[in-house]
Each structure stands twice: as structure tokens, then as C-alpha cells.
Chains A and B, each alone.
Chain A
Amino acid sequence: DSGVTQTPKHLITATGQRVTLRCSPRSGDLSVYWYQQSLDQGLQFLIHYYNGEERAKGNILERFSAQQFPDLHSELNLSSLELGDSALYFCASSRSTGANVLTFGAGSRLTVL
């Protein structure tokens, strides 16, 4: 157990729907990162939050949004889902703002039918 908790582990939904993925970072970690892992794109950085503030955006679609709450847990919202959004979504956390030591959760596998 890495200490980073992600729910749900698996999610199956239909095109056009909206889902929310949840992440609880490791105790004491202030930074949360979201990554998408797909067969064709590999691990792609989506977005980074530090202590509730958005710090950086990567290859995140406009249909996707995220936030980090005062208790430091984070949610990734995916809307108007398309077949191509099917992927593993990982949350990672770290103590500071640098990406040098990331602890990843086990991921949420999203299947869009």
C-alpha cells in the first residue's frame, strides 16, 4: 500500500456521461498530480495541485477538470465522455511542489462503452 488512495478502482460508463475520480494523498503530502495512462499515449501528466491551488496543467482536455479540497483530497471530473477516454487514471502525491518524488496510487480504470 503506497498510502495514496484512489476510488473507484474500476468504473464502466457510457459515452456522454460524467464521472468523478477521487484521490486521497499520502499523509503529509500537499501536492497531488493526476496522470492518464493509455496504451497509445503512455503516462501523460494532466494537472497538479498544491495545497488547494492549481499549479500546472498538462495535456488535460477541456472536458476534464479537477480540484483539491481543504482536507487535501482531490477529485478529477471527466465529462462528455468519449470512447478514447478509456484509460487508467493515476493520482500521485508528494511533499512539496517539485515532481521529483512521486508516490502513485493504484489507479482508477475507466471504461467508456
Chain B
Amino acid sequence: QQQVKQSPQSLIVQKGGISIINCAYENTAFDYFPWYQQFPGKGPALLIAIRPDVSEKKEGRFTISFNKSAKQFSLHIMDSQPGDSATYFCAASMLSDYKLSFGAGTTVTVRA
């Protein structure tokens, strides 16, 4: 079964707008929540990650918000640019574990 549920499946945003992608997880043992960005023909690349001891982490235009009680986390892309057009995957794991459980992915299209 899918341990991480991601929505929406796709979204279109205008240049300069905000893209928001949401993820929910079930396993309360998860303690590491990364986001990966994938461009066509490339492998996923780590974008930003958060641990559950903080509620928000920001790196440039990318922000992760984390709600431990709701078992949800989200990625906000501020001032979206055409170069941000890609597929974004949320994931979760235990730091001591060997595998990442990925969400289904969200294809973001930024219109110029």
C-alpha cells in the first residue's frame, strides 16, 4: 500500500505565482521527509528535506511546512519560474531505514 499520499497529480501556475503540493503519511515512525525534483530524462534530485522537530524549513523560494499532529507536510514554491516546471515527489523514511517511500508525484507547469 502507498505509505505517502501526494496531491494534486498536476498543477499549472503562472510565472510569479505560488505552487503548493501536499503530502500525507501514515507511519508515525517516519522521521525524515525529503522532496525530490525530477526533470524529463533525469533522475530525481534532492530539493529540500525536513525533520519532524521543526514546523517549517525554507531554502530560497522553496519552503516545506510540516504538521506532525496531522501527519501532513507540504511544499510551497514561491515566485514560480518556468525553470521550476518539473515533477515533484515527496517522500518519507526513518533515518535509520534503508528505503524511501515516495508519493505518486506532482507535475508542475509554470506558464510564462
Contacts and interface: CB of A to CB of B under 8 A. Distances in A.
Contacts, number: 61
A98 B44 contact: no
A101 B46 contact: yes
How big is the B interface, by class?
Answer: 20 to 34
Given A42-B103, A56-B98, A58-B99, A100 B34 contact: yes
Majority secondary structure, B binding face: loop
How big is the A interface, by class?
Answer: 20 to 34
Interface of B: 2, 32, 34, 36, 41-46, 49, 89, 93, 95-105
27 contacts: A2-B43, A2-B45, A4-B43, A33-B98, A33-B99, A42-B89, A42-B105, A43-B102, A43-B105, A44-B102, A45-B98, A45-B99, A48-B98, A55-B98, A56-B98, A98-B97, A99-B97, A99-B98, A100-B34, A100-B95, A102-B100, A103-B45, A103-B46, A104-B36, A104-B43, A104-B45, A106-B42
